[in-house]
């Protein structure tokens, strides 16, 4: 067991107190003793003088008596000088003792502080590292029992944090693995369902309208399942840090043309106006084209599905600082402010009434956000209920 700070302080105080008390007692005792001796000596001197004068005057020797008086007076004067010197010496001695005692106490305290400082500084530094996320950080345990206990407790806490983090990482890995495997395993049966439904549709003419409609519903749901699986897979990959992109300098306009062309059939069915406005002379952006197309189609699909027939949807692209900003604006119902903060979260969708009609997976915006961030960009939304919504994302310009 290492010595404790409290015990050291206690011992230090006791020694200091004893030394100071002893100094005081000795000093005062000596002072009183000197005073006593002095008074005794003065009294003796007077007595000698009186006795001598009485005896000598009676004997008729007044000169000798006077001489004795002079001698004793001189002696008393000497004694007074002596006591004055002695008192000063004693006072000096006591003062020196006090100074020595205080110096000793100071040395003791600075020694204690020094022995605390090093482990405390180490603890402060380690706590900083731990807070910054380095869970493998540990401190040396030693020194006074208080800092040793503190250090041991700190290490124990860090170990627990490290274990928890590794368990959480492991759970996350299991979850990602599970999603990847599930999405993989579901594809074979889904292929069969979709494939056979398509086979039925090849013979549409021999189906009753009711049967044909039923098969259409099966196919619709197959496509929805495929989208869901693809989205889940993207998210799981993104979580696992396995969503890799290979960015290359890419022109913006063809990407937008492509996405708009993909969406054209759907918006025309709903009689929605789909337009694009691209700033002339846009620089190339450093992206993986397929992924940007995926984001654009996600945003356009949302605009299309959440806006009523006859609405207008516009894609714009312009330079903002060192980035290119691409935005999809619709004049649909807009998003209530209370939901605006959550639109990029998973499985967050508009209100229930809309959701029934809308066929999305609730993952599109979460994936779009992951993808934009993977490219080193940012995504944002602005919306006014009753006026419309704008989803915009910024991507870095390609370096030449």
Partner 1 sequence: MTRVLVADDSETILLLMRTRLELAGYEVETAADGQEVTERLHDGESGPLPDLLLLDAMMPRKSGIDALRELRAAGVETPALIVSAHQDATDADAPSDLEVSGYLTKPIDFDRLLDSIAELTS
194/316 with CB nearer partner 1: 194
Rounded to whole angstroms, how far apart are CA atoms 224 and 245? 25
Q: What is the smallest separation between the CB atom of 328 and partner 1, expressed in angstroms? A: 24
Q: What is the smallest separation between the CB atom of 395 and partner 1, expressed in angstroms? A: 21
For 86, residues 6+ apart whose C-beta sits below 8 A from its C-beta are 34, 38
SS3 string, 207-271, reads CCHHHHHHHHHHHHHHHHHHHHHHHHHHHHHHHCCCCCCCCEEECHHHHHHHHHHHHHHHHHHCC
161/222 with CB nearer partner 1: 222
Q: What is the smallest separation between the CB atom of 379 and partner 1, expressed in angstroms? A: 22
138/293 with CB nearer partner 1: 293
Binding site for partner 1 (CB under 8 A): 183-185, 187-192, 194-196, 198-199, 202, 222, 226, 229-230, 233
98/218 with CB nearer partner 1: 218
Residue with tokens 């691209």: 278
41/226 with CB nearer partner 1: 226
Return the half-sphere exposure (C-beta side, CA atoms, 13 A cut-off) of residue 309. 5
Distance between alpha carbon 177 and the CA centroid of its chain, in Å?
A: 30
Rounded to whole angstroms, how far apart are CA atoms 391 and 13? 72
**Nearest-10 crossing angle of helices 5-58, 145-202:** 160
Q: What is the smallest separation between the CB atom of 360 and partner 1, expressed in angstroms? A: 18
First-last CA distance in the chain = 66
Q: What is the smallest separation between the CB atom of 178 and partner 1, expressed in angstroms? A: 16
151/247 with CB nearer partner 1: 247
For 291, residues 6+ apart whose C-beta sits below 8 A from its C-beta are 245, 371, 374, 375
Q: What is the smallest separation between the CB atom of 184 and partner 1, expressed in angstroms? A: 5
């Amino acid at each position: 067991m290492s010595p404790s700070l409290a015990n050291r302080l206690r011992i230090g105080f006791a020694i200091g107190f004893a030394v100071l008390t002893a100094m005081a007692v000795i000093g005062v005792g000596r002072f009183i003793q000197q005073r006593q001796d002095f008074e005794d000596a003065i009294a003796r001197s007077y007595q000698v003088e009186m006795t001598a004068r009485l005896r000598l005057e009676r004997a008729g020797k007044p000169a000798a008596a006077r001489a004795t008086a002079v001698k004793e007076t001189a002696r008393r004067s000497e004694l007074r000088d002596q006591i004055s010197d002695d008192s000063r010496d004693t006072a000096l001695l006591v003062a020196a003792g006090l100074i020595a005692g205080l110096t000793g106490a100071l040395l003791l305290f600075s020694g204690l502080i020094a022995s605390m400082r090093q482990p405390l500084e180490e603890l402060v530094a380690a706590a900083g590292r731990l807070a910054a996320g380095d869970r493998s950080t540990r401190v040396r345990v030693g020194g006074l029992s208080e800092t040793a206990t503190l250090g041991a407790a700190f290490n124990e806490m860090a170990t627990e944090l490290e274990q928890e983090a590794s368990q959480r990482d492991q759970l996350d890995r299991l979850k990602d693995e599970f999603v990847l495997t599930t999405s993989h395993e579901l594809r074979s049966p889904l292929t069969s369902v979709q494939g056979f439904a398509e086979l039925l549709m090849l013979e549409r003419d021999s189906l009753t309208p009711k049967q044909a409609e039923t098969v259409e519903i099966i196919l619709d749901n197959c496509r929805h399942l495929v989208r869901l699986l693809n989205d889940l897979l993207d998210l799981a990959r993104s979580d696992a840090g396995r969503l890799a992109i290979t960015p290359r300098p890419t022109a913006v306009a063809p990407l937008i043309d492509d996405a708009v062309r993909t969406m054209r059939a759907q918006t025309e069915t709903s009689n929605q106006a789909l337009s694009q406005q691209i700033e002339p002379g846009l620089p190339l952006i450093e992206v993986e084209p397929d992924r940007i197309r995926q984001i654009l189609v996600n945003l356009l699909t949302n605009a299309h599905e959440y806006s009523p027939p006859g609405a207008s949807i516009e894609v714009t692209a312009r330079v903002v600082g060192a980035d290119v900003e691409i935005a999809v604006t619709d004049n649909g119902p807009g998003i209530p402010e209370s939901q605006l903060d959550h639109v990029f979260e998973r499985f967050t969708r508009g209100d229930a009434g809309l959701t029934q009609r809308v066929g999305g997976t609730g993952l599109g915006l979460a994936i779009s956000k992951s993808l934009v961030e993977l490219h080193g960009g940012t995504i944002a939304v602005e919306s006014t209920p009753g006026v419309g919504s704008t989803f915009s994302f910024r991507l870095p310009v390609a370096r030449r």
